[in-house]
Structure 1
Amino acid sequence: MAKYLVNDVGVARARELIAARRYVLRSEWGRVQPSAEEENAFLARHSWEEYSAWHLGLTEGATDGTKARYAFVHGDFRRVHRMGLIACHYRAAEWGHKEIELAAHDLLQLLDATRA
């Protein structure tokens, strides 16, 4: 099983989006999560660094500048999605990636406090 490190750039980006109130509270994550085609279109117009900022995890051992390097997407390349954070939290908890789970949990708490 792959091992993941917390992507501080992705966590910071999610925090920035939440502070700017650029989030979606209710969505069907399975329908709005970026597809491979949408990822490719984003990468055609943006850098790998910008792509990285949409992910909470970095795959240990994967090469920078490859899709395999980035994991646990939290938004749709415009806004952070609450359901995206929940999906990251759930998937990380399911597979025992504690640091990613806690990062997603903290972001969910921040989002919920911001919207209150």
Structure 2
Amino acid sequence: MTTYRVNKAGAAKARELIDAGKYDDSTEWSDAAPSADDENHYIDKHGYDGYGEWHLALDTEANDETKDRYGFPFGDFRKVNRAALIHAKQRAAQNDHDAVAKEADTLLERLDAHREK
């Protein structure tokens, strides 16, 4: 089983984007999720560190310079997607990645608080 830990850089980016109002609360994640080609283009332009900032978790056993290193994406490389946070929270909870589920829940609460303003 994969061992994930919270990606602090990803969580910080998500908080920054949410606070700046850069989130999508209406598009389903299946429609907003980047394609493999989109991911590859993003990696070519921003490297794996930039790519990793769009994920809530790190696989502690995967190689640094691979997509497998990162799990639980939360956006489309432009905005945080609310449905992605919900999906991440549910999937993390189902697979006993409690810290990741908690982080997704915290970000979801933050996004919802911004929506209510």
TM-score class normalised by the smaller sequence:
over 0.9
Unpaired runs of at least 5, structure 2: none
State the AA in 1 paired with 2:85.
Answer: L
Match of residue 92 from structure 1 = 92
Q: Answer yes or no: is 1:8 the counterpart of 2:13.
A: no
- What SS class does the counterpart of residue 56 from structure 2 fall into? strand
- What SS class does the counterpart of residue 58 from structure 2 fall into? strand
State the AA in 1 paired with 2:41.
Answer: A
The structural deviation recorded for 1:33 is: 0.7
Write the deviation string for residues 20-72 of structure 1: whole angstroms up to 9, x where unpaired.
Answer: 00000111111211121110011111121111100000001111121010000
Alignment length (residue pairs): 116
Match of residue 109 from structure 2 = 109
State the AA in 2 paired with 1:103.
Answer: E
Identity %: 45
TM-score by length of 1: 0.97
User: What's the Cα RMSD here?
Assistant: 0.7
The structural deviation recorded for 1:114 is: 1.1
Structure 2: how far apart are the matches of 1:36 and 1:71? 14
- What SS class does the counterpart of residue 37 from structure 1 fall into? helix
Structure 2: how far apart are the matches of 1:90 and 1:31? 18
Structure 1: how far apart are the matches of 2:53 and 2:17? 11
Structure 2: how far apart are the matches of 1:6 and 1:79? 19
Structure 2: how far apart are the matches of 1:84 and 1:114? 17
Write the deviation string for residues 46-99 of structure 1: whole angstroms up to 9, x where unpaired.
Answer: 121111100000001111121010000000000000001001001101111100
Structure 1: how far apart are the matches of 2:35 and 2:92? 20
* Aligned counterparts, 1:1-116, within 5 A: 1-116=1-116
Structure 2: how far apart are the matches of 1:54 and 1:12? 10
Runs of 4+ with deviation above 2 angstroms: none
State the AA in 1 paired with 2:83.
Answer: M
Structure 2: how far apart are the matches of 1:51 and 1:34? 11
Greater alpha carbon shift after TM alignment, 28-37 vs 88-97? 28-37
